[in-house]
Amino acid sequence: MTDLREARMSRAQFFRMMGGLAAAAAATAACSTKPQTTTAQGQQTATQLKFVGVADQKAAMDQLVAAYKQVKPGVSLTTTFAPTDQVQTSVRTQLGAGNAPDLHVVYPGDGSAMSMSQIAKAGLLADLSDQAWTQTIPTGFKPAFQNDGKTYMYSAGSSVIGAVYNTKAFQKAGIDAPPTTWTEFLAVCDKLKKAGITPIALGAQTPWVTQLITYALVPSTVYAKDPTFDDKQRAGQTSFAQSGWRQAMEMYLELQKRGFFNDNPNGTTFEQQTSMVATGKAAMAIQVSAVLPDFRKSATSPSDLSMFPVPGADSADQVWIPAGVVVGLGASAKGKNLAEAKAFIDFLGKQENINLWAKAISAIPLTQDASSTIDPAVQSFLPFTKDRAVPFMDQRWPNAEVQPVHFAVVQELLAGKIKIDDALKKMDEAYAK
C-alpha cells in the first residue's frame, strides 16, 4: 500500500498524462459541437430544423413531419416533446440564452410565460403575416394569434371546455339527455348521486385542472351579460370581485357542498380523474376537449364518452361557452434557418394539414372546408361557437401571475381555507401587478 506514496513520476510521464487528458477533453469538445446545421456551403447535406413542443402536440406533429418529408426531402425536422412545465423551463431558458430551437411551442394570446404576446414583445418570434393562411384567421381569434396586428403564432384550431361524460353511466342513472340549464345540471348530478355514481370527478391536485370549472361557468355568468368585460377590466373599470366571477365561484362551491365531487379532490390527480370517468366510477369531468383522446384511451370502448356544454345559466339562451385557440407553435426570430422554419409553418397552414392536426386532438379546425371533420363529441358545441363563445380567460390577462393564483385559490377554497372574497381579492391583486 505504500508504493503509491513513494511513486515518482518522471517529467515525461507527467506530460504524457496531461497530454492524454487534453486529448480526451478536445475529443469531448469536438463531439459536443458536431451537430451543426449547414446553410452556407453545404447544399449536399440536408437542412436540419429543431422543434420543441408540448406532449399534446406529438400525435399531430409526428404525422405532419412525416408528410413534410415527402414534400421537402431536403429538410429534416427533429422533434422533442415534454410536459408543459418542462417545456416552459427549457424553451424559456434557451430563448433567454439566445439559442432557441428553430420552431417551438407558443401559447395563444397573453397571460403565460410562453405566450405569444410575451415572447413577441421580446422580439423573439418571427412575423408570419405574409403567409396566406393568416388572412383567414377568424376575427374573434385574432387576439390569440396577433400582437400589434402581426401574426406570430400558428394554431390548427380551437378546443372547448365542457363536461366529458360517460354515456353508460348516464344511462344507468336513467338520464336520456344532457342538461341545458344550471337547474337541470344540478338535477342530473343529484340523480347520478342517488344511483351511486360520483357525479363529477375532479382532479384538483393537478393545478391546471382546478381552473376548468370556473372557466366553464364564467362565459355564462360574466361574458353573456357583458361581452366587453375584458376591455373594461383592462381599463380598471371592473374587477373579478365586482363581476360574475363571484357567482361562478359560488356555483363551483355549491357543487362541492352538495357532494357532487369525488372525495378529496385536492388529493386527486388528472390521471385519476380520467380513469374515474373512463371506467364509469364517475359520470363526468369538466375538461377541455383536447384531452378527449386521453379519456378514450382509458375507456373500454371509445364511444362510451361524449361531451356537452356546461350550462352556467338558468335560461338556455344565456348559456355561453369557453372556446380557446389550442396551443400552437412559432418560429424563432433569431434562428439560423428562419426561411425553412417559416416554410414549414406555411405548410402547416394548408387546409388539409389544419384538418389533420385538428382531428388528432378533437379540435374544431381553424378554417373549414368540405374535407374537415369535427369530432362527434364536440358537435353539440358548434351552435355556440359563432356568437356565444369566449376565448379561455387567461388569454386576455395582462401577466403570467393571475392564472397560477387562480389555481391556488381554487385549491384553498376546496380545502375550506379561505372564503370567496379572499380568493377574488387575491386574483385582483395579481391582475394589478
Partner 1 sequence: MTANIARGSLPSTARKPWGRFSSLSPSWVFALPALLVYAAVVLYPSLAGMVYAFTDWSGIGEDKSFVGLANLTAMLHDEQAMGSIGNTLLLTVTIVAVQNGVGLLLALGVHVKLRSRAVLRVVFFAPVVVSPVMVAFLWKYIYNPDPAAGLNGLLGTHIDWLGDPSLALWSIAGTVVWQYAGYSMVIFLAGLEGIPPELHEAAMIDGAGTWQRFRYVTWPLLAPSLTINLMLSTIGGLKLFDQVFAATNGGPGYATETLSTVLYKQAFVFGKFGYSTAIALVLALFVAAVSMVQLYYLRNREVAQ
CB of 96 to partner 1, least distance (A): 5
C-alpha cell belonging to residue 353: 394539414
What count of Cα atoms within 13 Å lies in the side-chain half-sphere of residue 99?
Answer: 3
Closer residue to partner 1 in complex, CB, 7/132: 7
- Sole window of 118-126, 151-159, 292-300, 388-396 interacting with partner 1 (rule: CB under 8 A): 118-126
- Sole window of 58-66, 203-211, 322-330, 375-383 interacting with partner 1 (rule: CB under 8 A): 203-211
Q: Is 255 in the site for partner 1 (CB under 8 A)?
A: no
Q: Is 204 in the site for partner 1 (CB under 8 A)?
A: yes
Q: Give, as ranges, the residues between 371 and 400 that touch partner 1 (CB under 8 A).
A: 399-400
- Torsion (CA) 310, 223, 426, 161 in degrees, nearest 10: 30
Minimal CA–CA distance to 296: which of 323, 272, 282, 275? 275
Q: Is 414 in the site for partner 1 (CB under 8 A)?
A: yes
Closer residue to partner 1 in complex, CB, 90/380: 90
What count of Cα atoms within 13 Å lies in the side-chain half-sphere of residue 312?
Answer: 34
Q: Is 326 in the site for partner 1 (CB under 8 A)?
A: no
d(CA 206, CA 208): 6
Q: Is 129 in the site for partner 1 (CB under 8 A)?
A: no
C-alpha cell belonging to residue 384: 355556440
Concatenated DSSP letters for 316-359?
GGG--EEEEEPPEEEEBTT-TTHHHHHHHHHHHTSHHHHHHHHH
CB of 417 to partner 1, least distance (A): 6
Q: Is 123 in the site for partner 1 (CB under 8 A)?
A: yes
Q: Is 95 in the site for partner 1 (CB under 8 A)?
A: yes
DSSP annotation of 145 reads H
d(CA 86, CA 106): 14
Answer for which of 267, 314, 315, 352 binds partner 1 (CB under 8 A) is: 267
CB of 408 to partner 1, least distance (A): 5
Q: 96 — phi, psi (to 5°)? A: -65, -35
Q: What is the binding site for partner 1 (CB under 8 A)?
A: 1-2, 5-6, 8-11, 14, 21, 85, 88-89, 92-93, 95-96, 112-113, 118-119, 121-124, 204-205, 207, 263-269, 272, 399-401, 404, 407-409, 411-412, 414-415, 417-418
